[in-house]
Amino acid sequence: MALDDRKSQFTFVGTSPDRPDGLDKVTGRAKYGADAYAPGMLHGAILRSPHAHARIVKIDTSKAEAHKDVKAVVTRADFAKVPFKPGLEGEFWNVLENVMAGDKALYDGHAVAAVAATSALSARDALKLIDVEYEVLPHVTDVDKAMAPDAPVIREGAADYSVPEGMHPNVVRYHESGHGDVEAGFAEADLVIEDRFVTEATHQGYIEPHACLASLGNDGKGELWCTTQGHWIAQKTCAALLGIETAQLRVSASEIGGGFGGKTTVFIEPVALALSRKANRPVKIVMTRSEVFRATGPTSSASMDVKIGMKKDGTISAAQGVFRLQGGAFPGAPGDLTAMCAFAPYNLTNVKQTGYDVMSNRPKQAAYRAPGAPMAAFAVESVIDEMCNELGLDPVEVRLKNAAHEGTKASFGPRYERIGLVETLEAAKAHPHYSAPLKPGQGRGISCGFWFNHGGETSVSLALSEDGSAQLMVGTPDIGGSRASMALMAAEVLGIPYENIRVTIADTATLGYNDVSHGSRVTYASGLATIKAAHHAVEKLCERAAAKWGIPVDAVKWENGCAVPSGSNAGDFDPMPLADITADMGSTGGPISGHFEATPEGAGVSFGTHIVDAEVDPETGKTSITRYTVIQDAGKAIHPSYVEGQFQGGAAQGIGWALNEEYVYGEDGRLQNSIFLDYRVPVASDLPMIDTVIVEVPNPGHPFGVRGVGETGIVPPLAAIANAVSNAAGVRMRQLPMSPPRILAALKGNG
């Protein structure tokens, strides 16, 4: 990709105009997943296993089928016969098995049957009429116990080629990487610290439960409306699970009420389609909050060992980590990503990381904002903090001393292009927060964080109207204001006002394939695609102007929304505005549109540094976050207000993860806290204002320099808060969440 079109000065980019969908969203008229209704619609409900692990001996649906309001009942037999393959090779099989159990229920909440009835109440009543005979099996929900020799086997044959011989069958993927000689590095160190860290699973906690409205006939043609981060993956997956052709299923993405990675797959959508096909009527399913907690993706829980060697001057001589990630009853826990992210911020001579993907009797983990990276950072950045304390070194200086920069060989292999870690650390050092005095009982923590960012398959289409306005179709659902950033980038290239551009999230029938809104890819990849599509349209605009003027097209350039003659032999013509060209485009060659279809691969990695002050009440063990500053490299902030919003939101979720949130399983393997009262996410009164600093070190892989910003913001908080709490309490916290009972126990242990 040629980057010679990068601008040093922008007209629209970098401003924060009102979002195009703002009015709909403050008036209640924006349509989210549960806000769709269809003529003749039925309501679906799903029966879920009360057992963590059980063989399904028999399902008797006859009484439910006889209920006067019930129009269809489905079980696994109503889905396609997708072949089982090991590891992630057989992801369609894994998803099918997750959305409707086969021979075994694999976790508390696993779907086993579903009904469609004329009302939501009747559907729920009818579930009680389904008799399931279970043979309860031994279960395991803890990652270390799931790897132990005597652990119950979740599924034989699920491991892929990467797993060394002799490991428990619950270990399904193995990752090892690094460079140098860590043993030699530890021998050179003046101080070596090795510690074990544990984090619990947390839920993405989007406020909108999963919801969909499905319609499918026995002709194999269907329509699906759902709340999703990616409707093309929903299309592809549902088609495979229902045994229909992908193109015959049109999927429309509703407005999405939060996802954070948790809406990158399907749960209820194939079930609603199967019910609809059987009943021959549209079927709507809306999850309850309890279903969301029990049966949709939380993060992995993790157990980690990190060992770091440091010289007296703060140089890290070696680093080693073992990361065990529990991902529920299916392969996919990010053992590899966790390991790869762990030491990514640092320029290391000797580094080795190992990751395990481990199955247990819990719901299938789903991505949650930089999956794996926050846990890894918690372990690594805690050890670095301990070492700084022990050696009497400044934690920012030590990180600066070891920071990765352009040309550094990353811990996970490649050499970095231009990156902005050092700039975030310098900004942290210069920030008034870092030198502000602390009150008694308070502690300060800092942490760096890294995330890869992602490109992904992307299609964008831009069409000009006769009056000079533009409609832009993108395929990445707008979770946090991306319509605004797309319109800003299109306006920048076209040179027409932001307000003259209408951005639509196109359905699967009206645009080519688009990867999910994940990997912090939307502003990068859909943004790049938008810029390229706009350039494509501009080329055509210049052709039309050249034809009108009777000069060669290479004698026309595009400036401030007008075609202008350029070069010595171009002739003397007044600038021709876009609207003058589109006004008669029907007679000068037809409609003018621009397209982009490709897989951008220059996403540009992202780094951040957080500073946090915490106050620990020694009587109750309660922690208050008294001050928080997020510093992150955005490459180029297209819409700075929404960039700040991503930083603040990531920090808030990290605060919840660090202090409160956790999946609590009983001895019986059942989830104990499946409502928001018991699974407590941060509320307004828990948090301070969250200060932000946007660092801009342009990404060489994007025309305007954009790096994704969505995920990196959740990477440093766990460690930064743990460091602050540990410094405040005078005792090192190595297990999350740092809930009041855990802090009290640690204080007692210390005393």
Residues forming contacts to another protein in the complex (CB under 8 A) are: 16, 18-19, 21-23, 25-32, 34-35, 37, 119-121, 204-209, 255-260, 286, 288-289, 479-481, 641-642, 644-646, 648-649, 651-653, 675-677, 681-687, 689-690
Q: Between 512 and 645, whose beta carbon lies closer to another protein? A: 645
Contact assessment for residue 329 and residue 297, using Cβ atoms and an 8 Å cutoff: no
Q: Between 328 and 477, whose beta carbon lies closer to another protein? A: 477
Q: How far is the CB of 123 from another protein (least distance, A)?
A: 13
Q: How far is the CB of 70 from another protein (least distance, A)?
A: 16
If 0-12 CB within 10 Å is exposed, 13-18 middle and 19+ buried, where does residue 620 land? exposed
DSSP state, 702?
A: S
Q: Between 549 and 676, whose beta carbon lies closer to another protein? A: 676
Q: How far is the CB of 269 from another protein (least distance, A)?
A: 19
Nearest to 530, CA basis, from 463, 582, 589, 448: 463
Structure tokens at 655: 């605060």
Cα 435–chain centre separation:
33
Q: Between 2 and 689, whose beta carbon lies closer to another protein? A: 689
CA distance 99 to 523: 31
Contact assessment for residue 422 and residue 403, using Cβ atoms and an 8 Å cutoff: yes
Q: How far is the CB of 20 from another protein (least distance, A)?
A: 10
CA distance 93 to 75: 15
Nearest to 44, CA basis, from 110, 111, 117: 117
Q: Between 207 and 436, whose beta carbon lies closer to another protein? A: 207
Q: How far is the CB of 614 from another protein (least distance, A)?
A: 16
Residue 74 region by backbone torsions, left for phi larger than 0, else alpha for psi between -120 and 50, else beta = beta
Q: Between 18 and 131, whose beta carbon lies closer to another protein? A: 18
Structure tokens at 718: 């766990």
| 508 phi/psi in degrees, rounded to 5 | -70, -15
Q: Between 16 and 162, whose beta carbon lies closer to another protein? A: 16
Residue 475: CA count within 13 A, CB half-sphere: 29
Q: How far is the CB of 417 from another protein (least distance, A)?
A: 29
Q: How far is the CB of 68 from another protein (least distance, A)?
A: 13
Secondary structure (3-state) at 40: coil
Q: Between 206 and 356, whose beta carbon lies closer to another protein? A: 206
**Is the Cα dihedral 325, 520, 651, 610 positive or negative?**
positive
Strands 191-199 and 301-310: antiparallel
Residue 638 region by backbone torsions, left for phi larger than 0, else alpha for psi between -120 and 50, else beta = alpha
DSSP count for the chain of H helices, then E strands: 20, 26
Q: Between 97 and 661, whose beta carbon lies closer to another protein? A: 661
Q: Between 16 and 315, whose beta carbon lies closer to another protein? A: 16
Residue 411 region by backbone torsions, left for phi larger than 0, else alpha for psi between -120 and 50, else beta = alpha
Contact assessment for residue 248 and residue 273, using Cβ atoms and an 8 Å cutoff: no
Q: How far is the CB of 151 from another protein (least distance, A)?
A: 34
Q: How far is the CB of 260 from another protein (least distance, A)?
A: 7
Q: How far is the CB of 724 from another protein (least distance, A)?
A: 17
Q: How far is the CB of 157 from another protein (least distance, A)?
A: 38
Q: Which contiguous run of DSSP H or E holds residue 404? A: none
DSSP state, 524?
A: I
Q: Between 363 and 480, whose beta carbon lies closer to another protein? A: 480
Q: Between 205 and 372, whose beta carbon lies closer to another protein? A: 205
Secondary structure (3-state) at 292: helix
Secondary structure (3-state) at 145: helix
Q: How far is the CB of 158 from another protein (least distance, A)?
A: 32
**Is the Cα dihedral 694, 695, 696, 699 positive or negative?**
negative
Q: Between 121 and 664, whose beta carbon lies closer to another protein? A: 121
Contact assessment for residue 439 and residue 451, using Cβ atoms and an 8 Å cutoff: no
Q: How far is the CB of 51 from another protein (least distance, A)?
A: 24
AA identity, residue 604: G
